[in-house]
Chains A and B, each alone.
Chain A
Amino acid sequence: MDLSLSPSEREFRDEVRTWLEEHNPGPEPEGSLDEVIAYRREWQAKLHQAGWAGISWPKEYGGRGATLIEQAIFVGEAARAEAPSPANVLGLAMGGPVVIAHGTEAQKQRYLEPILTAEEIWCQGFSEPESGSDLASLKTKAVKDGDEWVVTGQKVWTTLAQFAKWCMLVARTDPDAPKHKGLTYFLMDMEQEGVEAKPLVQITGEGEFNEVFMEEARIPDENVVGGVGNGWSVAITTLMNERAGLAFGAIAQISNSLGRLGRLAKETRVNGHTAAEDPVIRQRIAQLQIEAETMRLNAYRGLTKTMQSGIPGPEGSLGKWQWADLNQRIAELALEIEGPYAALDRGAEHAVANGAWQYSFLRSRANSIEGGTTDILKNIIAERVLGLPRLR
């Protein structure tokens, strides 16, 4: 057992840290989503030039071929430095790895480079209005027409669809097969007649997510990934990659939030002392810190296990569940510390911290829904880790 970084890992961390100190362009502009995406594209181009985009990808495909631990270090350092997100998060964390794992040589040549440079942004067409947690029940259909597929249906919660060139689309290609068997994974060009993306306004007032409508959209046969009828297993790889890749960024982000929470407690007066001196608040802050630490240590245990077995296990579901729970509780405690001022939102003259905690409180409501609801994660843990019987 060794929970410290080895000399070479420490060297890698220092290299990342130094590079970030020199190149981190700072917080994203508080403007329109267009401006934010332009900012992120520029940042990703910089990352790519320095070889930090796709660090987990093999070198032959333009990646850095970094070890799992190096990826964890990089993601953690970037979050710690509060560097912007790259523009093409889904392409880097999911699309690229799926093409590398399941794609043909021609697909690898065509798609990987523009993911790294953010020239082409990717989105994910999985969820549908009537197929959320029960993803395999999805209805969007793709019908073969010569050497093309014709797609009709609707997707929802599609992040960045309005900016995306490519959509990782799962559609039903065999309506007669059992529900998990009749699905196929496609790469769909978003820039075509039959595809329309409409932003959904969420409870924060922003529009990160979209509805995507497909009316006889066309996909060439060569854009099938992993073979017709294998869509479910290809999609699952995507989700596993998503959970494994995001863990260490999530840990650093929680640690940043806890730092801010501590500062808020020290700066806020309540009952004649600071909130940081209030015994009840202290207990709650400590409990959050302790759970954040267990989440961090769990992730390292999981990483060691993945390095031994080669694949991320279903235990990753514990981390995503815990992250959502912590993120929500941190924002809830912050609003409690703010007291009556908690009612003032972003833009209000007397809002505490410009209403940042009000935003976190609202945005974090989605944490236990997006990327697998906490309820579904508990099912996965019960069935796949503990071996309990399925109700379905």
Chain B
Amino acid sequence: MYFDLTDEQQAIKSTAKEFLASRYKSERIRALAESEHGFEDSDWREMAELGWPGLALPEEWGGQGLGIVDLAVLFEEMGYALAPSPLLSNTVAGLVLATVGDEAQRERWLAPLASGEKRGTIALFQAGSSATIGDFGMEAEQDGDGIVLNGTKVLVMDAASADFLVVATADGRRHLVERDAVGVTVTPEKSIDLTRRLYSVRFDGVRVAPEATLAGGQADYLPVLWRACTAIAAESTGIAQRTMEMAVEYAKDRQQFGRPIGAYQAVSHRCAQMLLETENSRSAVYGAAWAADAEPESLPLAASMAKAYASDAGWRVPDASIQVHGGIGFTWEHDLHFFLKRGKANAATFGTASWHRERVADLILA
């Protein structure tokens, strides 16, 4: 029993912290929020040099072969820095290919993804569907030995800058489609989160050759979903940590009625609550990450617990931080709103808190 990061994981953490703090200062995040794709290729190339796109992907396909705990360490720091980056969408696409792809598919799609040369993203939900896991819409219409896709997918992260999409169909299968394939149209959607781009993607008779369809059905993708949940929950934990620190610093500094406001219990107890939620979130995330690496049979429960808890903490802690800051916290000029928005968007992604709580209930009341 040893519940702490190893020296190697500590090194990943400090490298990430240092790199991200130097790249993503407030002015830069604001500039990127206004840019077309929400990030710059130069940043992506540096992340690729650090090995991040393939961090938790197998070494034989050019990844670093590290585990989900290491991935959680990295994503906690991505959240802490509020790094605008396609790393999350790309990581999830990579995990799909690493888990379900065949040899040829991995050769063609996974290897360039792991090196950072190409980027992928996932397109799950049909416009107008409930957008809950499993309710994907979009029939896989048989066409000769391949299929044809018609319809519109929504809530697709980083689609405009991705090289390929992993598209889910109603039968639970996944298909690899190049973003510039004939019949694919990518349209930006306005996300509440200004630091991560969402798109809708229209498919007009897009042909998918048999070798671009992945082998598994919905059940085979669940292990990927639980890992994705763990990564995004780690990111939300980083958001909570950062905004708690901002609140504590402000409460030490800001004077009212002749004292720092942090001396008042209405404020200091709110900060204590923020610490409780942040630490709980972190424990749940690393519990799930460890399960992913070492005890896969307990991952479904652990991942749903982590995602449910971090979904709430990831926006409630920034929200409480805004309250501690008072009026300045409500201004566009202050950075807190970017964190609140990322936290809220994360809460809506890969299953909401109530969706995951229902899964927890299902597993424990069985």
Residues of chain A having any CB pair with chain B under 8 Å? 1-6, 9, 69, 262, 265-266, 276, 279, 282-283, 285-287, 289-291, 293-295, 297-298, 300-301, 303-305, 308, 315, 318, 321-322, 375, 377-379, 381-383, 385-391
Contact = CB atoms under 8 A, between A and B. Distances in A.
14 contacts: A3-B294, A289-B305, A293-B284, A297-B3, A297-B283, A300-B3, A303-B3, A322-B276, A375-B269, A378-B268, A378-B273, A379-B269, A381-B275, A389-B262
B9 interface: yes
A315 B4 CA distance: 15
Interface string B322-366: 000000000000000000000000000000001001101100110
Which of B3, B4, B259, B265 is most buried by chain A, counting CB atoms within 10 A of its CB?
Answer: B3
Interface in B246-267: 248, 251-252, 259-260, 262-265
Given A1-B9, A282-B361, A388-B268, 5 more contacts: A1-B286, A3-B290, A382-B265, A382-B271, A389-B259
A341 to B, nearest CB: 21
Given A283-B361, A388-B251, A382 B3 contact: no
A10 B284 CA distance: 23
B308 interface: yes
Contact of A293 (B273, B279, B305): B305
Interface in B1-38: 1-6, 9
B292 to A, nearest CB: 11
B62 to A, nearest CB: 25
B226 interface: no
A328 to B, nearest CB: 15
Interface of B: 1-6, 9, 69, 248, 251-252, 259-260, 262-265, 268-269, 271-273, 275-276, 279-281, 283-284, 286-287, 290-291, 294-295, 302, 305, 308-309, 354, 357-358, 360-361, 364-365
A294 B226 CA distance: 18
Instruction: Among B5, B273, B276, B281, find the residue whose CB has the most chain A CB atoms closer than 10 A.
Output: B276
A69 B1 contact: yes
| Among B269, B302, B361: residue with most chain A CB under 10 A | B361
B263 A282 contact: no
Given A1-B69, A375-B269, A378-B272, A265 B365 contact: yes
A214 B308 CA distance: 53
B283 A4 contact: no
Contacts of B358: 279, 282-283, 286
Contacts of A3: 1, 3, 287, 290-291, 294-295
Given A298-B283, A389-B262, A286 B3 contact: no
A301 B260 contact: no
Nearest to B9: A1
B32 to A, nearest CB: 31
B263 A390 contact: yes
Residues of A contacting B: mostly: helix
A113 to B, nearest CB: 31
Given A265-B365, A285-B364, A378-B265, A386 B271 contact: yes
Most buried by B among A2, A315, A390: A2
B365 A389 contact: no
A387 B5 CA distance: 24
B276 A282 contact: no
Of B6, B281, B309, most buried by chain A (CB within 10 Å of CB) is: B309
A295 to B, nearest CB: 8
Contacts of A304: 1-4
A318 B279 contact: yes
Contacts of B302: 293
Contact of A391 (B263, B283, B305, B365): B263
Given A382-B262, A388-B248, A388-B262, A286 B364 contact: yes
A216 to B, nearest CB: 40
B127 to A, nearest CB: 27
B294 A4 contact: yes
B3 A4 contact: no
Contacts of B271: 382, 386, 388
Contacts of B273: 378
Nearest to A317: B272
Nearest to B287: A297
A378 B265 CA distance: 9
Top 4 nearest A-B pairs (CB, nearest first) are A297-B283, A382-B268, A294-B280, A282-B361
A321 to B, nearest CB: 7
Nearest to A258: B364
A379 B272 CA distance: 8
Contacts of B305: 289-290, 293-294
Nearest to A300: B3
Nearest to B295: A4
A285 B365 CA distance: 9
A388 B357 contact: no
